[in-house]
């Protein structure tokens, strides 16, 4: 499913927060970020950038297993039966500390220590 149009785009455009799931030695791990941080950096059908301040366990997990899932959600988007819709994005990720992605992140978020670069593999709606 394309994220640059349709329901997923609407959900991403209206999401207040984003849940980020990785898997590590201790099992699944969740961390969150703000939707406006992700939107400020731009979301395409191929790539999502996230500014990284902490996320140490997420980084450890990605270094061992680069699979990642993000869940965007908004009650402002009509679901199939009631207000509220989600968009689950799956892909692979890496932490970058230099280069074009990091420069873009740092230009908007001076506090960022890294850029989480997600290569999108798929997206599905929920609810």
> In this structure, is residue 35 part of a structural domain?
yes
Kindly state the average pLDDT of the residues 4-20: 89
Domain membership of residue 65 (yes or no) is yes
The reported pLDDT for the residue numbered 7 is: 87
CATH of the domain at 64: 2.30.110.10
CB 79 within 8 A of CB 105: no
Can you spell out the DSSP letters for 49-75? Answer: EEEESS-HHHHHHHHH--EEEEEEEEE
Pair 72, 89: CB distance under 8 Å: yes
DSSP character for 77? E
What is the domain extent for residue 12? 6-126
1 Cβ contact partners less than 8 Å away, ≥ 6 residues apart: 8, 122, 123, 124, 125
Of 54-58, 63-67, 95-99, 122-126, least confident by mean pLDDT is 122-126
Residue 1 reports pLDDT greater than 60: no
Structure pTM?
0.91
Number of structural domains the chain divides into: 1
Residue 35 has a pLDDT of 96
pLDDT digits (tens, 9 = 90+) for 66-94: 999 999 999 988 888 888 899 999 999 99
Rounded mean pLDDT, 27-38 = 97
Cα–chain center distance at 42: 11
Residue 41 lies in a domain: yes
For residue 1, tell me if it sits in a domain: no
> In this structure, is residue 42 part of a structural domain?
yes
């Amino acid at each position: 499913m394309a994220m640059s149009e349709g329901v997923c785009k609407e959900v991403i455009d209206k999401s207040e927060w984003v849940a980020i799931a990785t898997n590590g030695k201790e099992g699944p791990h969740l961390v969150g970020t703000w939707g406006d941080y992700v939107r400020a950096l731009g979301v395409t059908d191929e790539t999502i950038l996230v500014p990284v301040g902490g996320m140490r366990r997420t980084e450890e997990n990605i270094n061992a297993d680069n699979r990642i899932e993000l869940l965007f959600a908004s009650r402002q988007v009509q679901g199939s039966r009631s207000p509220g819709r989600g968009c689950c994005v799956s892909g692979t990720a890496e932490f970058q500390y230099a280069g074009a992605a990091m420069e873009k992140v740092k230009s908007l978020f001076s506090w960022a220590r890294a850029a989480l670069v997600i290569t999108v593999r798929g997206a599905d709606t929920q609810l």
